[in-house]
A and B are shown apart, each in its own frame.
Chain A
Amino acid sequence: ETGVTQTPRHLVMGMTNKKSLKCEQHLGHNAMYWYKQSAKKPLELMFVYSLEERVENNSVPSRFSPECPNSSHLFLHLHTLQPEDSALYLCASSQGLRQETQYFGPGTRLLVL
Chain B
Amino acid sequence: QQQVKQSPQSLIVQKGGIPIINCAYENTAFDYFPWYQQFPGKGPALLIAIRPDVSEKKEGRFTISFNKSAKQFSLHIMDSQPGDSATYFCAASLPHQDNYGQNFVFGPGTRLSVLP
Q: Which residues of A contact B (CB under 8 A)?
A: 2, 4, 31, 33, 40-43, 45, 48-50, 55-56, 90-92, 94, 97-107
Residue pairs across A and B with CB atoms within 8 Å: the count is 70
Residue of chain B at shortest CB distance from A4: B43
A48 B45 Cβ-Cβ under 8 A: no
B101 A99 Cβ-Cβ under 8 A: no
Query: In the complex, what residues of A have CB within 8 A of residue B100's CB?
Result: 48, 55-56, 97
Q: A99 is contacted by which of B44, B93, B105 (Cβ under 8 Å)? A: B93
Contact (A43, B101) CB under 8 Å given A104-B44, A105-B43, A106-B41: no
Q: A31 is contacted by which of B32, B44, B101 (Cβ under 8 Å)? A: B101
- The count of chain B contact residues (Cβ–Cβ below 8 Å) is 27
Q: Which residues of B contact A (CB under 8 A)?
A: 4, 9, 32, 34, 41-46, 49, 89, 91, 93, 95-96, 99-109
Contact (A42, B106) CB under 8 Å given A104-B44, A106-B42: yes
Query: In the complex, what residues of A have CB within 8 A of residue B102's CB?
Result: 31, 33, 48, 94, 97, 99-100, 102
Distance from B111 Cβ to chain A, minimum over Cβ atoms (Å) = 10
How many angstroms between the C-alpha atoms of A40 and B41 in the bound complex?
A: 16
Q: B101 is contacted by which of A2, A4, A42, A50 (Cβ under 8 Å)? A: A50
B104 A102 Cβ-Cβ under 8 A: yes
Q: A42 is contacted by which of B93, B99, B108 (Cβ under 8 Å)? A: B108
Query: In the complex, what residues of B have CB within 8 A of residue A104's CB?
Result: 42-45
